[in-house]
A and B are shown apart, each in its own frame.
Chain A
Amino acid sequence: MKFARVEVAAIAAAYALVGCGPAPGDPNRQVGPNPYLPPIHQYLLPPMHVAKVVGWNGATPTVAAGLKVQAFATGLANPRSLYVLPNGDVLVVETGGPPGPVSRPKELVMNWVEKMAHSRTKPGQRILLFRDTSGSGVADQKTVFIDHLNSPFGVVLVGNDLYVANTDAVLRFPYTTGQTQITDPGVKLCDLPGGPIDHHWTKSLTASPDGSELYAGVGSNSNITENGIQAELDRASIWQIDRATGAHREYATGLRNPNALQFEPQTHKLWAVINERDELGPDLVPDYLTSVQDGAFYGWPYSYYGQHLDPRVQPQRPDLVAKAIAPDYALSSHVAPLGLVFYSGTNLPEHYRGGAFVGEHGSWNRAVLNGYKVVYIPFVDGRPSGPPQDVVTGFLIDGDKARGRPVGLSVDGKGALLIADDTGNSVWRVSAASP
C-alpha cells in the first residue's frame, strides 16, 4: 500500500513536469451507481500506456478463493467472443477489425498503438467449435464451424437458426444439434453499418427471450465525432431486428460502444456493457454496465452520464441532451468492458449465483492501467447490489506487461465460466475448486 502511494506520487510529479494532465485517481471512486466525475481535462499529449504483450508461457490467470482455472483451448488467433450451444459445444469467434482509412496523421499513431496492444497473431475470420468429450474441462475436439466471415463478433441461436453478426451484416445459418461444421453459405437477414471507417466494428448479438427479436450492438464510428456526425448514422445504438423480416429500429441510442448484450434471467430486461469516450482525462468517462431501456438516449456524443456536456461536439443538441439518461452502474474509466454474462448456473460457489460477470479488456490511454480482469457484480431482484469483486486477475504482471486480455464471457454446459483471451490467444475455464 505504501509502495502504491509512492508510485502514484511519482507519476503525479512526472505528469506535472511534462504537463500531461492530472494523475489518475482511485478507480474505486468510479464504480457503482454514482461514480465520481472529475472536471474535464483535455490533453496536450494524451497518455498512450499500452501494456507490453508477453504471453502466458505456461502460466495461468489467478482466480478468487474457491475457484480453479484451466486452459480450455489454446493456440487461437485472436478469440474475442464465445457462445455455448445447447449441447455444450463451445463456439469461439476468432476475429479482427477491418483496417480503417487514415484521414489524418493521428490515425497513423493510433493504428500503431493498437497494434502494440494486441497479439502479433493475425486474427482469424471464422468461428471454431470446441467439444470436451471427456468432461475434463479441457476441449479435446476442435473443428472449423463457419469459415470466411467478415470481422464476426456476435452469435446467437434461436431454434434451428444460428445468427452471426459480421461487422456489416447479420447472417442466418441452419443448425442442427450436434453439428460440428456449417458449410451452408447462410442468408443475410439485414445489413449493419460497416466500412469504410468502421471505427467500433464489434457487433454484439442476442435474441429476446421469446426469440422473436434480435438485438445488435452497433458502436460509434469515432471516439467523439471526429469523423463527422454524418458518419454516425444508425450507430452508437442498439438495434432491434425483427427476426422474420430483418426490419430494424433503434431500440436505444447514445451508447458509444455497446457490447455483450444479455437478457437478465430474472427480470428478462436487456443489459449491456458500454465503452465510453476517451481523451477527457484518466478518470473520464467511466465505462458502464446498464439495463437498456426502450427508446432511451444515453448521451453520446453530446453528453455523458446524463447531462454532462462534451465540449468537443459541435453543433450541440440541447434537445437531445435534455432527454439523456444516466446509466445504471459505472465500472470506472477506460477498463474497456467487452464481456458480460449473468450467472444462473450451479457449478460456481453460491456467492456467484444470480449476478453478472464482466470482462474488462483493459486500458491503453491511462497512465496507470485499469481493467485487465474479470469482475463479479452481485445482483438482487435484477439490479446490481454491491461493488464489483475481482474474480479472475493475473492478466497483467509487473504492473505493465500483459500476459493476456479478457474479452467475451460465457457459461458452459456444466456451469463453468468461460473467458476469451484475445491477447493470450486462449479460452480459460473457471469452475469450482471442489465439485
Chain B
Amino acid sequence: MASANPRSTVTLGGRPLHAMLVPIPIICFVGTLITDIVYWQTAAMLWADMSDWLLLVGLIVSVVAVPAGLIDFLGDPRIRQLRAAWIHAIGNVTALILSIFNCLIHTRDAYTSVVPTGLILSALVVVILLVTGWNGWALVYRHGVGVRAAGQP
C-alpha cells in the first residue's frame, strides 16, 4: 500500500478531526489576550468576564482537539519524522497546560484575575500558538500531512 502523504488517524468523514477543531481554541485564546488587554486598560469587569468564557470554551474544545492531534502524531511514523510535527505537538500541549493554569488564575476575583499573571499567560499562549501554527501549516501545506493525494485511498 503505497500512500504518498502521511495520514491522519482520527478522522470524521475522511477529514482530520484535529484540523477541524483547532481553529476554535486558537481564536478563543487569541480573543482572551485581546479581552485581557482591554480589561488591563479599562478595569471594566465585563472584559475579564469575557476572558473567562473564551478560556472555558477554548479549553473544552482543546480537550478533544489536542488528543486528536496527539493520536495523529503517534499514528503514523512518517509524521514523527518531521521536526515541525515535534515543535507543533510539544508547543500545543504546553499551550493547553498553560491555558488550564490561566483558567484557574482567571477564577480569582477582580483585578488579579487578569493582572499581571493572567495577562502574561494569555500572551505566552498566543506566542506559542504563532509558533505551533506556523509549524502546523508546514505539516499540511508542505508535507501534506492528512492530505489525500491523487490516487491515495
- A interface vs B, CB < 8 Å? 42-46, 103-106, 222-228, 279, 311-315
Number of A-B contacts (CB under 8 A): 54
Pull 10 A–B residue pairs with CB atoms less than 8 Å apart, ordered by A: A43-B108, A44-B104, A103-B49, A106-B52, A224-B110, A226-B109, A227-B45, A279-B108, A312-B110, A312-B111
Given contacts A104-B53, A106-B52, contact A313 B46 (CB under 8 A): no
- B interface vs A, CB < 8 Å? 43-46, 48-49, 52-53, 56, 101, 104-105, 107-113, 115
Q: Is the interface of A mostly helix, strand, loop or mixed?
A: loop
Contact B45 A228 (CB under 8 A): yes
Q: Which residues from chain A contact B110 at a C-beta distance below 8 Å?
A: 222, 224-226, 312-314
With both beta carbons as reference points, the residue of chain B lying nearest to A314 in the complex is identified as B111
Given contacts A105-B53, A106-B52, contact A312 B104 (CB under 8 A): no
Report the Cα distance A104→B39, complex, angstroms: 15
Most chain A CB inside 10 Å of its own CB: which residue of B105, B107, B110, B115: B110
Q: Which residues from chain B contact A315 at a C-beta distance below 8 Å?
A: 43
Return B35 CB to nearest CB of chain A, in Å: 12
With both beta carbons as reference points, the residue of chain B lying nearest to A278 in the complex is identified as B109
Return A398 CB to nearest CB of chain B, in Å: 29
With both beta carbons as reference points, the residue of chain A lying nearest to B45 in the complex is identified as A228
Contact B52 A105 (CB under 8 A): yes
Return A383 CB to nearest CB of chain B, in Å: 34
Known contacts A106-B52, A224-B110, A312-B111; 15 further A-B pairs (Cβ under 8 A): A42-B112, A43-B108, A44-B105, A45-B104, A105-B52, A105-B53, A222-B110, A224-B109, A225-B45, A225-B109, A226-B110, A228-B46, A279-B109, A312-B113, A314-B43
Contact A312 B49 (CB under 8 A): no
Contact A222 B109 (CB under 8 A): yes
Contact B45 A226 (CB under 8 A): yes
Return B106 CB to nearest CB of chain A, in Å: 8
Q: Which residues from chain A contact B56 at a C-beta distance below 8 Å?
A: 105
With both beta carbons as reference points, the residue of chain B lying nearest to A301 in the complex is identified as B110
Contact B101 A44 (CB under 8 A): yes
Report the Cα distance A312→B115, complex, angstroms: 9
Report the Cα distance A226→B44, complex, angstroms: 9
Return B7 CB to nearest CB of chain A, in Å: 37
With both beta carbons as reference points, the residue of chain B lying nearest to A109 in the complex is identified as B107
With both beta carbons as reference points, the residue of chain B lying nearest to A222 in the complex is identified as B109
Q: Which residues from chain B contact A45 at a C-beta distance below 8 Å?
A: 104, 107
Contact A312 B109 (CB under 8 A): yes
State which of B44, B104, B107 has its C-beta within 8 Å of the C-beta of A228: B44
Q: Which residues from chain B contact A46 at a C-beta distance below 8 Å?
A: 107
Report the Cα distance A75→B71, complex, angstroms: 57
With both beta carbons as reference points, the residue of chain A lying nearest to B107 in the complex is identified as A106
Contact B108 A312 (CB under 8 A): yes
Report the Cα distance A314→B113, complex, angstroms: 11
Q: Which residues from chain A contact B108 at a C-beta distance below 8 Å?
A: 42-43, 279, 312
With both beta carbons as reference points, the residue of chain B lying nearest to A228 in the complex is identified as B45
Return B52 CB to nearest CB of chain A, in Å: 4
Q: Which residues from chain A contact B49 at a C-beta distance below 8 Å?
A: 103-104
Report the Cα distance A314→B45, complex, angstroms: 10
Return A316 CB to nearest CB of chain B, in Å: 9
With both beta carbons as reference points, the residue of chain A lying nearest to B103 in the complex is identified as A105
Q: Which residues from chain B contact A228 at a C-beta distance below 8 Å?
A: 44-46
Report the Cα distance A106→B44, complex, angstroms: 18
Q: Which residues from chain B contact A222 at a C-beta distance below 8 Å?
A: 109-110
Contact A313 B111 (CB under 8 A): yes
Report the Cα distance A279→B46, complex, angstroms: 20
Report the Cα distance A367→B113, complex, angstroms: 22
Q: Which residues from chain B contact A226 at a C-beta distance below 8 Å?
A: 45, 48, 109-110, 113
Most chain B CB inside 10 Å of its own CB: which residue of A103, A104, A105, A222: A104
